[in-house]
Chains A and B, each alone.
Chain A
Amino acid sequence: MADEILQVENLVKHFPLTQGIVFKRQVGQVKAVDGVSFGLRKGETLGLVGESGCGKSTLAKLLMALERPTSGSVRFEDQDVFALSRAELRRLRRRVQMVLQDPYTSLNPRMTVGDIVGEPFAIHGDPEGGRRRRVRELLEVVGLDPDHVNRYPHQFSGGQRQRIGIARALALRPDVIICDEPVSALDVSVQAQVMNLLADLQKEFGLSYVFIAHDLAVVRHISDRVAVMYLGKIVELGDEEQIYDHPTHPYTQALLSAVPVPDPTRQGTPIVLEGDVPSPTNPPSGCRFRTRCWKARDVCATDEPLLQVRAPGGAGDGEDGGTSGSPHPSACHFADEKIVRG
């Protein structure tokens, strides 16, 4: 699609599991990302939500070309990023930047804020008007005092440190920012500041975000579209309203029902899932969610449900499948809308 700046197709990343020290034998593989496809549209925020171990952070590294995939492709403006030469990759890195979770460890404690935010210029060349001026400008853009350029990270609070990380990501005027849990280490009162800042910057600079987080409320707030991941796969994909108000995949429904809302009069009844997420080394056959799913039937163990728009009435799949008002891709044989909280 022409309006998609980033296209991910059938992306797979398996990590080998080895035993022994000298003669390493491969005894299995961790299927961290196992066939993920989506497109990121220009100027939008795509939320990627899932629990620990679902592969969302590995996906972030693949999108940044920090890991090579086992198979599949990531195309940035129609170029396959894994086919690029080193020089081309370096040029790509100007356009795709990253903001990380932990504002305490993602900044070098021995570098001044000015050096941290200015470091991209050491690799990619100084900007017009000089590095110092641009760094001061960047600090101002993210709401920090430009006169603090000579301070060190420990002299800032968690929220301010996350702003430093954002300023660094903005330095090269990127088009896409991959945000990996950018607000989860922050206090509630500060988290909202950083989310509002990200939204303002998006408007101002026309940025596209991939926003990875485990907090469903945060993802709803910031995203235009949302992909829900489970064990290395996307199980449901839709715009924010489709996913949150008309979820059709049982996993999405369980996730949403489990989030307590900050209003004592509106607590739903959580769908409590049995057990834990299975190991990605040996995921269940067929549908990966079937071991914890209350709708699972025989077909779920044999046929893997594809991520596709399922017609109302569940044509071809099952008697009670399908979505009612708001069709969007769902990887469940029995996809059916369920109001989670009235």
Chain B
Amino acid sequence: MTNTTDPAPGTPLLQVEDLRVEFRMRGSTVNAVNGLSYTLAEGETLAILGESGSGKSVSAQAVMGILDTPPAYVTGGAVRFRGTELLGLPEKKRRTYRGAHIAMIFQDALSALNPVHRVGDQIAEMLLVHRGMSRGDARKRAIELMERVRIPSAGSRANDYPHQFSGGMRQRVMIAMALALEPDVLIADEPTTALDVTVQAQIMKLLRDLQDEMAMGLILITHDLGVVADVADRIVVMYAGRVVEQAEVRELYARPAHPYTEGLLASVPRVDVRDRALTPIKGSPPNLAAIPSGCPFHPRCPRAREERCPDEVPALRDVTGTGHGSACHYAEEVLGG
């Protein structure tokens, strides 16, 4: 893991700057990511929160360099790992970062694993290819990894196929695979969305433990406001391919500074509160082939005003002086309640 030159002190572990991704389809262009910026510090958990079509998954795939081109094109921006720009790298060079420095796990483990190979072999293959280990060593290490993600009787289960595992165990296999090369950044894309709540609790605990053990930066992509509140240090809220708000987790839930975040918090039912009135956000998330002008949230926003919102795209700005960012013209009013 030392094949990069030492970055200058203070360089973030991962830095995404003004990232833009579009899908060129017949007759239309879908603007999935429209100038996304964030940073991830060593050992930090950053949550990227957004609904369907917010660009949260596509942006992660762009960071990993696993978008299919065509139809997806990264049209601008930068992705820097410890200061090294990844976007311009030739594929051969880029591959040395994928898995070894930045790894990713997905919502659907069953389709992320190869159904016709034993899981032990699939994990070992990473080590054969990237580390040049011998077959025997790779297998031993694969079993160690399966133990590390707390799969019971890992030695014999290494010979099983993905379909022989339950949903939660399959997710553990995928995590073992992602950790095989001891990455510095783990991107988890809705890792527990398909799981039952008791299994979700197991997997989130595992991810937290592993993050501590391995001192990884973790990017958690999710739509679940509960999971975010539970595990994140910092949150980036995405809407229509942009960051609309970012803040430290307690700050964001206590003092949302964007009407969209405010609306999300008012529309979730809670297991710990009786008779809570829900105030939904009107309308639906926007069509990315026809993003509204000005502030993309203005057609759904209860605070929108004719004079600025439909025409002027609000920039993400620090609205408290303490790093709480909001992309709303009237963020100060939102903060005021």
Contacts and interface: CB of A to CB of B under 8 A. Distances in A.
Contacts of B130: none
Interface in A204-235: 214-218, 220-222
A160 B287 CA distance: 14
A257 to B, nearest CB: 8
Interface in B180-194: none
B268 A159 contact: no
Contact of A214 (B52, B196, B253, B276): B196
Interface string B213-236: 000000000011111111100000
A323 to B, nearest CB: 19
A261 B228 CA distance: 9
Contacts of A261: 226, 229, 270-272
Contacts of B300: 189
B313 interface: no
A219 B227 CA distance: 18
A188 interface: yes
Contacts of B268: 188, 192, 217, 262
B280 to A, nearest CB: 4
A196 B281 CA distance: 12
Interface in B246-287: 249-250, 253-254, 263-272, 274, 276, 278-282, 284-285
Nearest to A266: B272
Interface stretch (A119-127, A130-138, A240-248, A310-318): A240-248
B305 to A, nearest CB: 21
Interface in A156-191: 157-160, 187-191
Nearest to B54: A187
A260 B280 contact: no
A267 B205 contact: no
B197 A255 contact: yes
Given A51-B196, A255-B197, A270 B205 contact: yes
A254 B168 CA distance: 17
Given A195-B269, A221-B269, A270-B201, A276 B169 contact: yes
Nearest to B235: A264
A31 B16 CA distance: 51
Contacts of B202: 272-273
A281 to B, nearest CB: 14
Contacts of A264: 229-230, 249-250, 253
Interface size class of B (residues with CB under 8 A): 35 or more
B284 A341 contact: no
Given A187-B223, A189-B285, A262 B267 contact: no
Given A221-B276, A270-B201, A276-B168, A189 B263 contact: yes
A196 to B, nearest CB: 6
B198 A192 contact: no
A256 B271 contact: yes
**Taking each of A192, A214, A217, which has the highest tally of chain B beta carbons within 10 Å of its own beta carbon?**
A192
B143 to A, nearest CB: 20
Given A217-B270, A261-B271, A262-B270, A158 B284 contact: yes
Contacts of B52: 158, 187
Nearest to B224: A260
B30 to A, nearest CB: 16
B200 interface: yes
B166 interface: yes
A259 interface: yes
A258 B254 CA distance: 22
B199 interface: yes
Contact of B229 (A220, A262, A341): A262
Contacts of A51: 196-199
A298 interface: no
Contact of B225 (A160, A195, A262): A262
A202 interface: no
A188 B198 contact: no
B198 A273 contact: yes
A263 interface: yes
B296 to A, nearest CB: 14
Contacts of B204: 260
A273 B198 CA distance: 7
A37 interface: no
Nearest to A220: B271
Contact of B267 (A191, A273, A341): A191
A265 interface: yes
A52 interface: yes
B124 to A, nearest CB: 25
B17 interface: no
A194 B176 CA distance: 39
Contacts of A221: 269-270, 276, 278
Contacts of A216: 197, 271
A268 to B, nearest CB: 8
A212 B6 CA distance: 55
Contacts of B285: 157, 187, 189-190
A326 interface: no
Contact of A258 (B198, B223, B278, B281): B198
Contact of A188 (B166, B169, B264, B276): B264
A237 B254 CA distance: 35
B51 interface: yes
Given A188-B225, A214-B196, A254-B198, A196 B284 contact: no
B278 A195 contact: yes
12 contacts: A187-B284, A191-B280, A192-B267, A196-B280, A214-B197, A216-B197, A240-B274, A245-B274, A262-B225, A262-B226, A263-B229, A263-B270
Given A187-B51, A188-B264, A255-B197, 18 more contacts: A157-B284, A188-B225, A193-B280, A196-B280, A214-B197, A221-B269, A221-B270, A245-B274, A254-B198, A258-B197, A259-B271, A260-B204, A261-B272, A262-B270, A264-B249, A266-B272, A267-B230, A276-B168
Interface of B: 51-52, 166-169, 196-202, 204-205, 223-231, 249-250, 253-254, 263-272, 274, 276, 278-282, 284-285, 300
